[in-house]
Amino acid sequence: MSYKILFLDIDGTILKPDHTYTESTKEAIKQVKAKGIEVFFATGRPLHEIEDLAEELEIESGIGYNGGYAKYKGEMIVNDAFRPELVEEISSLAKELGNELIFYTLGTNYLTDPEDPEMEYFIDLFTMKKNARVPEDFSEAVYGLSSIKVLPEHVAHYEKFDELYMSPVNVGRLKNSYDFIQKKTNKGTAIQQVLEKLNISPDEAIAFGDGMNDKDMLQLVGHSFAMGNAHPDVFQYAKYKTTSVNEDGIYNGLKELGLVK
């Protein structure tokens, strides 16, 4: 079988709960790159927040913002920001409900209340560094949105936005936190555009993930792996199951395909 490209989720797939990765993960990436296989991050995170990780793992390409933006070795391939009017409507509703928001732009994470304890925990949990308070005249393009302090009774209010779906952020001790993801834009749609750009078929693509925001990606590629620590609903979307992020899941999956020693 010919494999040409590998897509890797970050949190819970590359990174363990303590934000480190196993040496086997780094070695596996090195070995597949040596075979000429392209390696991409495929994450809900903004790409500007994973620059250090990209340098450590020598990965030059990535899909960020749950598919809202993608680049291949510095060349932009996907550029799909939220409609400005939609951002304004969500902002107004969040203020009314007492929810806090994080707006992800191409260079900065804008926070409605950086001093809120739950916001501080969210920032620390995801080691977010490029943060600022939302300015009064905020008008930058937004590629991703996260919300915190969203109580169960609040969810129905956001469900009126037909363009979006809400993906729970179940990491650490986070509760009542969600990513807002555009229905027309996800890791799968971004990967489809990457494959078309690079003239690679889905059968030649591999992907690893652990969360529900990975389901479109896992369904699209020919060789998909759900991590052993994946959300229970994720396994149905993957072709294979590998070990957990703490137990060399990426390495073991790639070994199953005969790509690492």
Output the domain CATH number for residue 110.
Answer: 3.30.1240.10
Element (H, E) at 56: helix 51-57
* The total number of structural domains that make up the chain: 2
Q: State whether 63 and 130 are in the same domain.
A: no
Same domain, 194 and 244: yes
CB 241 within 8 A of CB 228: yes
Which residue, 151, 182, 213, sits at the end of a domain? 182
Q: Does residue 48 lie within any of the structural domains?
A: yes
Which CATH number goes with the domain that contains 198? 3.40.50.1000
Instruction: Tell me if residue 176 falls in helix, strand or coil.
Output: coil
Q: For residues 205 and 145, state if they share a domain.
A: no
Place of tokens 């129905």: 156
Query: Is there a domain that residue 230 lies in?
Result: yes
pLDDT for the residue 173: 83
| Amino acid symbol at 31 | Q
- Same domain? For 205 and 234 the reply is yes
Question: Do 97 and 175 lie in a common domain?
Answer: yes
Q: Is residue 261 part of a domain?
A: no
Say whether both 175 and 193 belong to one domain: no
Distance CA 70, CA 153 (A): 34
The domain boundary, picked from 135, 165, 182, lies at: 182
pLDDT for the residue 191: 98
The pLDDT assigned to 129 comes to 93
Whole-number pLDDT of residue 46: 94
Residues 6 or more apart whose CB falls under 8 angstroms from that of 27 comprise 251, 260
Write the pLDDT tens digit of every residue in 86-137.
Answer: 999 999 999 999 999 999 999 999 999 999 999 999 999 888 999 999 999 9
Which own/partner contact pairs does 229-236 have at CB distance under 8 Å and 24+ positions apart? 229/12, 230/12, 231/170, 234/209, 234/210
The whole-number pLDDT of residue 212 equals 87
Expressed as residue numbers, the domain containing 150 is 84-182
Q: What is the DSSP-derived secondary structure letter of residue 232?
A: G
The torsion region of residue 73 among left (phi > 0), alpha (psi -120 to 50) and beta comes to: left
165 SS3 class:
strand
Residues of the chain scoring pLDDT < 50: none
pLDDT of residue 68: 94
Q: Are 17 and 131 part of one and the same domain?
A: no
Chain centre distance of CA 107: 16
Packing angle of the helix pair 249-256, 23-34 (nearest 10 deg): 40
With a threshold of 0.95, does the pTM exceed it? no
Domain endpoint, select from 182, 213, 230: 182
Same domain, residue pair 65 and 193: yes
Q: What is the pLDDT of residues 147-162, one digit of tens each?
A: 999 999 999 999 999 9
* pLDDT score of 88: 95
